Structure 1
Amino acid sequence: MRIGYGRVSTTDQNLDVQRAALEAAGCEEIYLDKISGKLTNRPELDKVMTRLRAGDTLVITKLDRLGRSLKHLLEVSAELEARAVDLVVLDQGLDTSTPVGRFMFQILGAVAEFERSLNVERTMDGLASARAKGKVGGRKNALTPAQVRHARFMRDERDEDGRPRHTVQEIADELGVGRATIYRALDPDRVG
């Protein structure tokens, strides 16, 4: 079965051109979204992915109609391949049922992987440069050293029967932070 999917980003855009192209391509069912491609929740695409079976072909007009990003597009493509569903992209002339179409998607995957590795390398270079200049990344501590000492004092304070005078929640409330912050400050080796 040939199933078509189309999308426009805003409600004032028209889906008629995509619908006509998908009908001309012989799609037996057509699903259309009027929603931004950057959003993860696209109801009609979700329906399409549920509907597709091994041997089906998903037809789209352009690559950018399917994926939010190159990474997402490659993830969807890998899922389709794993489910034995072919992908046809009308405007780019890609068809993963052919060796050339599969090859083109492999090239896209290699380019995306290369781009990811370059981003990681640039990030590491930037962090190393910042450390060399004496800058430390990350979030600032929620508690000052004086507040940590105060939290320890409150934790260690006991009543006449030897029971703790303060709960962790009481300590957190006094310092204006969450309980997890108190746990991390008092026992940094604690997991969780």
Structure 2
Amino acid sequence: MKIGYARVSTADQSLDLQLKALKEAGCDRIYQDHGISGMRFDRPGYGKAMQALKEGDTLVVWRLDRLARSMLELTDTVTTLHNRGIGFRSLCEYFDLGTPVGDFMLHILSAMAHFERALIIERTRAGMAAAKARGVQIGRPPAMDGETFREALFLINRGLSVPATATQIGVGKSTLYRYLSENAARYHRLNM
């Protein structure tokens, strides 16, 4: 039996091209993950595909990077498949693991996929560093600014509980507790 697996990383991407190619390749069943990064280990479609595969079956993917994004993960997956007596085929890279050339190509292509991912990470980090140097804030904005924190302190000093104060200023109570803990010295100074 041929089991197909298709994946796209973002919700606005389409699986149509992969699904069509897998059907044309004769896949009996196709499992898919839509809007899920290849770096995640908890991909439901991937898990179901791996469970469905039995000895003598073949896992078919459109491209190697649809299955894994790191050389280690790809090598581990293919080794696990091989040890279970399951074949592996990638349509775009035109190889079948059932051949010596396919085995050789897998190692070359998995190294390239790993290199590509490392370059993406390097470029992302360089871009973030350049943005920080320009004064751009990276990540989520803080839950509270200084003015909101002062308002929270005022309400707490007037006798309002921390949970009620958090509701009043529109933040979670754990966030307010964290801010109070992080700014304990300043908080005590203001209470004196």
Establish whether TM, by shorter chain, passes 0.5: yes
- Alpha-carbon distance in 2 for matches of 1:48, 1:179: 42
Measured at CA, do residues 146 and 156 of structure 1 come closer, stay the same or move farther in structure 2, by a change above 3 Å? same
- Alpha-carbon distance in 1 for matches of 2:143, 2:111: 42
Per the alignment, in what secondary structure is the counterpart of residue 187 of structure 1? Answer: helix
- Alpha-carbon distance in 2 for matches of 1:65, 1:38: 16
Matched-pair contact (CA < 8 Å) for 2:3–2:30: yes
The alpha carbon displacement at 1:70 in A equals 5.3
Q: Which residue of 1 aligns with 2:77?
A: 79
1:150-189 superposed matches below 5 A: 150-157=151-158, 165-188=159-182
Q: Which residue of 2 aligns with 1:18?
A: 25
Matched-pair contact (CA < 8 Å) for 1:37–1:67: no
Gaps (5+ residues) in structure 2?
7-14, 37-42, 185-192
Q: Which residue of 1 aligns with 2:135?
A: 134
The alpha carbon displacement at 1:174 in A equals 0.8
Per the alignment, in what secondary structure is the counterpart of residue 97 of structure 1? Answer: coil
Larger radius of gyration: 1
1:22-33 superposed matches below 5 A: 30-32=28-30
**More helix by percentage:** 2
- TM-score, normalization by structure 1: 0.63
1:15-164 superposed matches below 5 A: 17-19=24-26, 30-32=28-30, 41-42=44-45, 47-53=48-54, 55-60=55-60, 63-64=61-62, 68=66, 71=69, 75=73, 78-83=76-81, 84=83, 85-89=86-90, 93-157=94-158
- Alpha-carbon distance in 2 for matches of 1:122, 1:67: 19
Per the alignment, in what secondary structure is the counterpart of residue 122 of structure 1? Answer: helix
The alpha carbon displacement at 1:47 in A equals 4.7
Measured at CA, do residues 31 and 119 of structure 1 come closer, stay the same or move farther in structure 2, by a change above 3 Å? same
Give a deviation string over 1:41-81, Cα, whole Å, max 9, x none.
54xx655421324x534153xx3178636528984663242
Gaps (5+ residues) in structure 1?
23-29, 158-164
Give a deviation string over 1:87-113, Cα, whole Å, max 9, x none.
134675422233322221112211111
Per the alignment, in what secondary structure is the counterpart of residue 2 of structure 2? Answer: strand
> Please, which of 4, 8, 15 is the counterpart of residue 2 of structure 2?
4
Matched-pair contact (CA < 8 Å) for 2:22–2:62: no
Matched-pair contact (CA < 8 Å) for 1:38–1:68: no
Letter of the 2:62 partner, please give it: D
